[in-house]
Amino acid sequence: MIAAQLLAYYFTELKDDQLKKIDKYLYSMRFSDETLKDIMNRFRREMENGLGHDTNPTATVKMLPTFVRSIPDGSEKGDFIALDLGGSNFRILRVKVTQDKKQPVQMESQVYDTPDDIIHGSGTQLFDHVADCLGDFMEKQKIKDKKLPVGFTFSFPCAQTKLDEAVLVTWTKKFKASGVEGMDVVKLLNKAIKKQGDYEADIMAVVNDTVGTMMTCGFDDQRCEVGIIIGTGTNACYMEELRHIDLVEGDEGRMCINTEWGAFGDDGSLEDLRTEFDREIDRGSINPGKQLFEKMASGMYMGELVRLILVKMAKEGLLFEGRITPELLTKGKIETKHVSAIEKTKEGLKKCMEILTRLGVEPSDEDCLAVQHVCTIVSFRSANLIASTLGGILSRLKENKGVARLRTTVGIDGSLYKMHPQYARRLHKMVRRLVPDSDVRFLLSESGSAKGAAMVTAVAYRLTEQARQIQQTLAEFRLSKAQLLEVKKRMRVEIERGLKKDSHKEATVKMLPTFVRSTPDGTENGDFLALDLGGTNFRVLLVKIRSGKRRSVEMHNKIYAIPIEVMQGTGEELFDHIVHCISDFLDYMGMKSARLPLGFTFSFPCHQTSLDAGILVTWTKGFKATDCEGEDVVELLREAIKRKEMEDPEFELDVVAIVNDTVGTMMTCAYEEPTCEVGLIAGTGSNACYMEEMRNIEIVEGNEGRMCVNMEWGAFGDNGCLDDIRTQYDQAVDENSLNEGKQRYEKMCSGMYLGEIVRQILIDLTKRGFLFRGQISETLKTRGIFETKFLSQIESDRLALLQVRAILQQLGLDSTCDDSIIVKEVCGTVSRRAAQICGAGMAAVVDKIRENRKLDHLDVTVGVDGTLYKLHPHFSRIFQLTVKELAPKCDVNFLLSEDGSGKGAALITAVGCRQREADAQQN
C-alpha cells in the first residue's frame, strides 16, 4: 500500500516538474489577463480603422458591410432555396419557414460534388455547374415552375454594395476559377441560370458563412447579434450602428459587418505576441504575411503548431530522449483533430500514446503528459485570443447601445469549437472575465451557414414585403402635384362661395369681414391697451407706438388666470372679471385715469358687423359662460366697463376694435413690411386672412378700397370636397374628436391633430405585425399621447435613431431600430402632407390677390405665426416650396410674426383710430 502511495507521489512530483518546465519553455504562448485586455483594445482600434472612410483602405481588419440590416423577428415565413458554396462540396437546401411552433423550419438538402477541374477551371464552367445542380435539385423537388427566393452563401471575401450583389475580392481555400475575381458573382450565377432556360430563381441575398451563422441562431433567439466561426478558419460578424459605417450611405438603423478578423495583425500590430513557431507556420503557408491572427488561432494551423513545438523540444532533448523521426518532420502529420483527442480528460493520454507511436518516437508516459500539456497551451492560447477579439466586439456593442449591462447572444459554428473537449468552456470563461458587465449567451448554430442564407433571404423577403405594404399605406398621404393643384382649385371655389351673398350662408369657408380696411402706414402714434382672450389665461397689454424716424413699439403686459367657475358661470361674471383685471393692470402701470383706446383679441368664432362689433357664434376651448352666444361681445365688455365706472368714476375705456389673432398676425408683420397683406396661423389650429377688394365682398356695403377677410379656412372640406384625399386615419381622428364632421382641413394640417393621425397609423401597422412585434401597448391606445412636439423631435435631422428610440420609450413604446425607422418615416409623411395642403391653400390665396389686381406677377409678404411653423424642423420649408410650385406667378416672402394677438391688436386699434379721425374730418 505504502509503495503504491510513494509511486503516486513520485509520479505527481514528476508531472508537476515536467509541466513547469513546459510552461517555462512556452512562456510566450501564455497570456496574462492584462495582455488579453491589451489585445482587446488593439482590436477595437483596428475595428474603428476598418469602419472609417479615410482609414479603411489601409486597415487590416476590413469591416465589410454586408447589407443585412435586420435579424429575424420570428414573423418570417415562406419557401426558400439556399445555396452553399465554400468548399469541395456544394450544398443546396429547400427551407420552409412557417409559424408552426413545434417545427418552424423544415429543411431538405442535397450535396453535390465540385470536382477539381471545375474549381481550377473557368468561372463560366463553375457557375454553369452550380446552375446545373440547382436545376437538378428543383426538378427533384418538383418546383421548377415556381420562382422561389434564393439565398447564396458564398464564403469568400467579397465587396458588397447591396444585399444581392457581391464582387469577389480574391479566391481562398484551393479555389482558383479564372475570370471571377473582381466580378459580381450574382450576375455570373444569374447568367448561368438564364442559360439553363427551364427554370427561374430570384437571388435576393449573398452572405458569407459567418453572417449565415448569426442569422440561423437569430431565428431561434432574437437577441443574437454576433456570429463567429471557429473552425478551419476563423471570422466574426456583428450588428453595427449604420451611423458608424462610413462606407455606406445613411445613418438610420443597423447593418451586419463582416469583420474578416483573420487578417488582424497583418500590419505588424501583433508582432510582440507572435512566437518563432507562428513565424515558421507563416513562412510555410500559401499566403505568407497574410491572415496572421487566423494562423495563431484557427483549427487549420493548430496541429501544425503543436508539431513544430514537439520537433524543437525533441531536438533540444526535452522529449522522446531526443529521438526525431521522418514522420515527426513531415508537415501535416499532426492534425487539429489529434489535438482534440489528446486533450480529452479520460482517454487523452492513451490517445496521445497511440498518435505518438504512429509517428515512431517511442514515447514514455512522461512524454505523453508533456505533449498533452503542449496541446493544452496551444489550444488555450487560441481560445484566449478569440475571447479578446470577441470581447472587443461585445464592448463596442455595449458602448453603441449606451447600456450599463449588455445582454446579447453570440451564434457560433465551426469544427474546433464543436469538437474540442475543453475549447467552448475556456472561451466562455475568458469572455466573462474580459467583459464582466455583460450577460452573454453562446448558441451553437444548428445546420450551419446554408440555413442562415435562407434566413437572410427570409428576412429580406419579409422586409421587402413589409416595406411594400407600409409604402402602400403611406402612399395615400403622398400627394402628387396634380392633386395639390386640385386642392388649390377647390379652395378657390370655396373662397368665391364665401364671398358671394347668395352662397355665403351655406359656404364652409366663411370669409368673414373684419372691417380692418388698411394695414399700418407708419404714422400710427400713441398709447393703446390690448386684451388677449383665447384660453384659460388672458393677457392685458399696454402698447406704446411711436411714429417718425425712430419708429418703435414698446410693450408691457400682465397675465391673469380665468378660474373655471368664471369660464363656466354667467356672461356678466366673466366680463366683470376681465374689467377688474384691466383696472388692476392700469393701477400696476400707474395709469389709473388715462382714457385709452382698446383692442380686444377675441379668439372665438365671431360674426363681425363693424370694426367694434362682433357677435359670438359659439364658445369653444372649454368656455361655457351663459348669455353670451348670439350677443355682441364688445357690448358685453362696454356694459361691464360702465358698471366699473359706477364705482370708480376715474375708470374710462374706449373699445375701438375686436380682433381675430390671424388678422393680428398680418398687422404685426405689415408694420415691419408694407407688402404684407396676408396672415397665416399654422400652430395648434390653422387659419388665414388677407386683404380682399371691397367690390368682391358682397355681404358688406361699399365697393371702394379693401378690407381684411378672416377666411376661417379650417372648415374647408366640411362639405365633402376633400373626401377623395382623406384617408381612413383622417376619418378615425375626426370620429374621435369633439367636433366630428367639422374643421376637416384643419384636422389634416394643424398641430393639434398631426400626432393623432400618426398614432392611428402606428396602431394599424402594429395590428398588421409591422411594428413593436405586433404588441399594442396601453400607451398606444391612449388618445392624444403622441403630441406634435414629439413629431418635431423625432423628425429632427440631428437626432440619431437611439434618441428616437428614447422618445418612444418615454411614451412606453419598446422599439427596435427597425421600428424607429418606420415611426420616423410615418411622422415625416404626415407632416409633409400637412405642409403641402396648407401650401396649396395659401397658393389659392396669393393667386386670388394677383388676379384681383390684374397683375402678371405679384410680390407679396405673408405674416406667419404658430408653433407648428416655428418649431417643426421641416414644415416651413415644405410649405414655402409648395406655395412657390403651385403659384409660380407670385413671389411670396414669409415673415415671422412677433406677438400677433397683443401687438397686432394694438396696431389694429391704432389704424382704427386713424381711420375714425379721417372719417370725422370727411364728415
Q: Say whether 492 is catalytic.
A: no
Calculate Rg over the CA atoms of the chain: 40
The CA-based dihedral angle spanning residues 455, 461, 463, 467, taken in that order and rounded to the nearest 10 degrees: 180
Contacts of residue 573, defined as CB under 8 A and 6 or more positions apart, other chains included, come to 566, 625
Distance CA 337, CA 306 (A): 12
Tally of CA atoms within 13 A in the half-sphere of 332 that contains its CB: 2
> Would you state the cell numbers that stand for residue 365, as one nine-digit string?
508516459
Contacts of residue 277, defined as CB under 8 A and 6 or more positions apart, other chains included, come to 305, 308, 309, 312
CA torsion sign for 785, 791, 792, 797 is positive
Edge-to-edge strand list for the sheet holding 653-659: 552-561, 537-546, 526-533, 596-602, 653-659
Find the catalytic residue in 612, 661, 734, 899. 661
Element (H, E) at 257: strand 254-258
Q: Which residues pair with 512 in a beta bridge?
A: 710
Q: Return the closest-CA partner of residue 220 out of 22, 450, 52, 452.
A: 452
Distance CA 790, CA 494 (A): 33
Find the catalytic residue in 396, 462, 539, 759. 539
DSSP three-state, residue 700: coil
Distance CA 75, CA 774 (A): 10
Q: Say whether 603 is catalytic.
A: yes
> Would you state the cell numbers that stand for residue 321, as one nine-digit string?
530522449
Find the catalytic residue in 382, 449, 603, 750. 603
DSSP three-state, residue 207: strand
Q: How far is CA 135 from CA 38, 116, 463, 530, in A?
A: 52, 21, 27, 84
Contacts of residue 37, defined as CB under 8 A and 6 or more positions apart, other chains included, come to 388, 434
> Would you state the cell numbers that stand for residue 434, as one nine-digit string?
474580459
> Would you state the cell numbers that stand for residue 370, as one nine-digit string?
508533456
Q: Say whether 661 is catalytic.
A: yes
Phi-psi region of 13 (alpha: psi -120 to 50; beta: other; left: phi over 0): alpha
Task: List phi, psi (to 5°) of 152.
Answer: -125, 110
Phi-psi region of 63 (alpha: psi -120 to 50; beta: other; left: phi over 0): left
Contacts of residue 242, defined as CB under 8 A and 6 or more positions apart, other chains included, come to 69, 248, 250, 251, 252, 253, 254, 255
Query: Which residues does the annotation mark as catalytic?
Result: 539, 603, 661
